[in-house]
Amino acid sequence: MTSVSGKRAVLIAGPTASGKTAKAITLAGRRDALIVNTDSMQVYDVLNRLTARPSAEELAAAPHHLFGHVDPVVRYSTGAWLFDVRKMIQQAHEKNQELIFVGGTGLYFDALIKGFALIPPIPHAEIQAAEEMIQGLDADERMALLVEKDPETAARLKVADPQRVVRALSVLSATGKPLSAYQGDKSPGLLEDYWLEKIVLMPERGLLRRRIAERFEAMMEQGAVEEVEVLLARKLDPSLPAMKAIGVSEISAMLAGDISRAEAVEKSVIATRQYAKRQSTWFRNRMSDWQFIDPFA
C-alpha cells in the first residue's frame, strides 16, 4: 500500500511462540518505532507469563503499548482495543514515529485495516446487568434468551458463548438497538492512509510444536502458577476472557489436586498447539496477501 502522507506501520502477525516479540523489538530498535500489542490476551493484567507478554527486559528495549493495561475482571472487546489504538496512532503521528503492531489475534488486525462496526461505548453497569441475566444459564438457555431479546443477532451465532451473549444484551439495553443493527455500519480502518508492511511469521510446524512445549515448561518455572493463584483468590467469573487463557483451567485443576503438574503441563501444551493451528489457519485464509516468513529458517 502506498501512502501519500508518508505515515508507515509494520504489522507482524503469527501463531503463538513464533518469535513475534523478538522480531518487533529488532525492528523497533532500527526504526525508532512504537510497538502496539495486537493480542487479545496480552492486554490483561496479572497474566504476564501465561499470555507470553514481553519480559521486563524486552519491555525496556523499546516503547510498548497496550500490554497488561486491562483488569482481568473486564470483558475487553475489539471495539475497546480500537478505541485505545486510535490514541496510540495519534501519539505516534505527533512524534513522527513509526508504528509496529504485533500479536496473534487475527480479528484485531482485520478490524485495524478493514474497519469495525461503530458501536457506542457501553456503560459497565449495563454489562454487569447482562452478566447477571445469564448467570447460571447453560448454552441452550443463553441462546433461548438471546432469541427472545435479539433474534437477528442470535441467528448469526453458532454458539451462545457468554461473552457474545453479554455483548449483545448490553448493547441492546444501552442503545435500544440490537447488535445486528450495527454489523453493516463499519468505520474505516485506522491505518487507511498508511504505508503498510504486512508480515506473518510462520515457523516450520515441528519446530513450533517444540517451542510451545519448551515455553510452557518455562512459564511454569517463572510464575504461571502464582498468576493463577492471584486470579483464583479474586473469585472471578469463569466465563471472563482472562479466565479462559490457556493454562488457567489446567493449573487451577492442579492446584485443586485434581490433576498432577505433569498433566497440567501436557494439557496446556496440547491446548496451545491446537490454538496455534487455528491461528495459522486464519492467517493462511484471511491474510494470503501478506508476506509469510519462517523466522528461524
Position 164 scores a pLDDT of: 86
Residue 18 labeled ligand binder: yes
Distance CA 128, CA 253 (A): 27
Distance CA 79, CA 95 (A): 25
Residue 181 pLDDT grade (very low, low, confident, very high; cuts 50, 70, 90): confident
pLDDT tens digit string along 24-82? 999 999 998 999 999 999 999 999 999 999 999 999 999 999 999 999 999 898 989 99
Residue type, 249: S
Residue 188 labeled ligand binder: no
Residue 160 labeled ligand binder: no
Beta-sheet pairing, 64-65 with 195-201: unpaired
Position 160 scores a pLDDT of: 87
pLDDT tens digit string along 112-167? 999 887 777 788 889 889 999 999 999 999 999 999 999 988 998 888 888 889 98
pLDDT (mean) for 187-199: 92
Residue 176 labeled ligand binder: no
Position 5 scores a pLDDT of: 57
Domains and CATH numbers, the chain: 8-117+187-201 (3.40.50.300), 124-183 (1.10.20.140), 205-286 (1.10.287.890)
Q: Give, as one character, the DSSP assignment of residue 291.
A: E
Residue 158 labeled ligand binder: no
Q: Residue 102 corresponds to which cell in the numbers above?
A: 504485533
Distance CA 50, CA 16 (A): 12
Instruction: Confirm if 10 and 27 have CB atoms less than 8 A apart.
Output: yes
Residue 20 labeled ligand binder: yes
> What's the pTM value of the predicted model, to 2 decimals?
0.83
